[in-house]
Chains A and B, each alone.
Chain A
Amino acid sequence: MASSQHVLLSPAELAYLHASLSLAPPIRLDGRSPTQFRPLVAETGILPGTNGSARICFADGTEAIVGVKAEVERTAQRPGEDTVFFEEGGVGTDDADEEGETRDGVDKRKGDASWVEMTVEIPGLRDDDSGTAFLSAMLSEALLADGEFAKRLWINRRFHWKLYLDIILISPPLSYPLPLLSLTSHLALLSTRLPRLKSEGDEDPFFDDDWAAAPHLYPRTAATTTRPPITLLVMAVGNNIIFDPSKEELTVADVALAVSVTSATSPSTLSKPHTTDAEAAAAAETDPESGRNLRLLSIRTIDPPSRLTPPGVANAVNAAYGAAGTQKATLEAQTAAETEAVEGVWKAPRGGAKRAVLGALVQKVLERGGVVDEVLDALEAVELG
């Protein structure tokens, strides 16, 4: 889908970048290791008027702010088995329902994708720009893919929380902003608190006005390790897999993927089949002994700008190149330059992504105790303001 903004680089630079990133181990422009992220500065609870908020900056000045705001909304009633006719003395049946819920342990909560509204704002881009729309779609897709998130917004059968996520990139996008926006939304959701419910059953919701007693949307107890999803940008150059690519690195990517993962509570929830409408959603391998239960939510391919770059001209066929004025061998050289790769000459990648490379990318992301685990740990260590 939609590519990131165009970066103007000369074929010589592209060839150099590609060569240095294809080495084993790759040499990245800023000296990072392949799995290393750019250092972040993060804080939460910066917006007092919201239910949860976070801010993340990169060292280069890129900065994102996310605010989460919740409103109580009446759930649209559809005639069906669980239709509540409150006027007909629903209270009594409610109690029975509550008991029934606890008795057979069935989760009666229901969620709906329309309960979450996400807006992404990127300076210099229109709201309906394809890039912005795609970013917002990717981020909300990660949230809603497994349907578990919307269930958290369920209050009772007649009311639910409507969550507004406002994601704002403050600086101009110096690199593809997806990982930054995703990490910031993750932090904001971690810090989100909803007022404690005092009413019971299906009556009109009534809340505790003590904010200190408000529980977190994602409670942090030892029992639950469920976390909001994160979407990571991963790219491949040759056989190397590179996390959190900078703008220049993305320009020479063979494949770029946006992979959304989440950590789930228990293996039992993983056994349930999850199918999403648009994209592949698959449950990851689980190993209850160590680390988190990472679950793959969605994969999207990002169209890397490398396909739009101009090719370099090999010296053998370069008419303006000093001594290459001789016209003799040019025909063979020209065909060779068109078909074969010449060392040191940039050629935009052609064709689709190799299946093995895609597989390796996803494998690397879902690695137990790997990058995602450490990213989630680091995000959890951020003090909630």
Chain B
Amino acid sequence: MPITILPPKPSRPINNNRPSEDDIYNASDSDSDAGTGGGGATIDPDGDHAMLPPSTKRPTTTRTTAATSSIVTPGEQITDDPQWMRGHGTYIPSTATGRAAAGAIVSSVAGTVARTNKLLSVRPLRARYTPEVGDLVVGRIVEVQAKRWRVDVGSTQLAALPLSAINLPGGILRKRTETDELQIRSFFAEGDLLVAEVQQLFGDGGAVLHTRSLKYGKLRNGTPEAEAGAAGITNMEESVSTTMYSSQNDRIEVETMREIARLRGVVTALVENGLRVDEDMVVRGYHEAVEMAMVSVEGSDDTYLGGEKGQQLAAALTGV
């Protein structure tokens, strides 16, 4: 079957009986860590987002309702109760606007409200990565400068990888020379995929990376998703000590390629079905995918996990 065309899913039922604000924000402080859903980033495959009821139907009070399960939008007032402190993803406007009173806490992102004691923050539905010192990151070189590379690590800004923060060939510890600066592209060039560690953070959130370990270096022999999975999760990654700057792939068996495709399919299916992508989920998803392939009509060599198969996989993982 070369093509499957599905009708769009009916939009989800609208939840009208949302708890009022009093129930949420005047609740006792003991249940501080209210469940915030924690659904993570969700992409609706056919774009049928459950819409909030039109604003005419909403309560006309300035105190907006914001249930624990509901989503707040940028500029929407969360509360004007002065007992709350504002956290990440919120701000307090100086003047009253159409949707919020002066001094009220207003959401600056689209996401779910999270409460920690008296701190109100909004967890964005889709956020970029925020680097922390010591994080292992996979990035792609997007720019080569005179003495450093600029690396896309999925953050709001490009991370910097200085020439002085890599292991130079011909001896692990030596000073960088002008020759190294001239042949900077022989180490990493535009488009190269590498694994590195965050060494330092700038005040504005920009990161400085380093690859001064034999664990770090250029990634090869696969595709990004599978490589990242393999490197971080099953420790299949070979030692990169001698191959740090190589761009030549080793001989890869067909079976390995097939499993790499399967692993990539698992990660894509998780993302498309709005599930969390972490080590546990990927390992479970992979085992589930292998079992699904065993019983499928196409045989165990079939690694396709798109469309309905991806939904099956997600359903099996969430136990619904």
Contact = CB atoms under 8 A, between A and B. Distances in A.
B249 A27 contact: no
Contacts of A325: 169-170
B221 A38 contact: no
A345 B304 contact: no
B3 A344 contact: no
Contacts of A382: 5, 7
Chain B, interface size category, equals 35 or more
Contact of A40 (B5, B187, B242, B246): B5
Contacts, number: 194
Given A10-B218, A243-B2, A321 B243 contact: yes
B26 interface: no
A378 B7 CA distance: 11
Interface residues of A, number: 62
B140 A10 contact: yes
A12 B221 contact: yes
Contacts of B187: 320
A11 B247 contact: yes
B45 A61 contact: yes
Contact of B261 (A29, A35, A345): A29
A176 to B, nearest CB: 17
Interface in B246-263: 246-252, 254, 257-258, 260-262
Contacts of A35: 2
Contacts of B247: 10-12, 15, 312-313, 318, 345-346
A364 to B, nearest CB: 11
B283 interface: no
B52 interface: no
Given A313-B186, A346-B247, A322 B169 contact: yes
Provide the main secondary structure of the chain B interface.
Answer: loop
A41 interface: yes
B191 A310 contact: yes
B54 interface: no
Given A16-B222, A19-B252, A36 B191 contact: no
B189 A59 contact: no
B132 interface: no
B6 interface: yes
Interface in A304-360: 309-310, 312-315, 318-323, 325, 342-346
Contacts of B189: 310
Nearest to B187: A320
A374 B47 contact: no
Contact of B246 (A13, A315, A383): A315
B193 A322 contact: no
B125 interface: no
A42 interface: yes
A216 interface: no
Interface in A353-385: 371, 374-375, 378-379, 381-383
Given A10-B218, A10-B247, A321-B245, A27 B257 contact: yes
Interface string A6-41: 001111110111011001000111111101111111
A318 to B, nearest CB: 6
A63 interface: yes
Given A12-B221, A13-B224, A310-B190, A39 B2 contact: no
Among A19, A314, A342, A379, chain B packs the most CB atoms within 10 A around the CB of: A19
A43 interface: yes
B272 A60 contact: yes
B60 interface: no
B134 interface: no
B186 A319 contact: yes
A344 B251 contact: yes
Interface in A53-85: 55, 57, 59-61, 63
B268 interface: yes
A37 B304 contact: no
A121 B124 CA distance: 30
A142 to B, nearest CB: 18
A30 B3 contact: no
B4 A343 contact: no
A17 B227 CA distance: 13
A315 to B, nearest CB: 5
Contacts of A314: 248
Contacts of B254: 23, 27
Interface in A209-257: 243, 248
Interface of B: 1-9, 43, 45-47, 140, 142, 169-170, 183, 186-187, 189-193, 218-224, 241-252, 254, 257-258, 260-262, 264-265, 268, 272, 302-308, 310
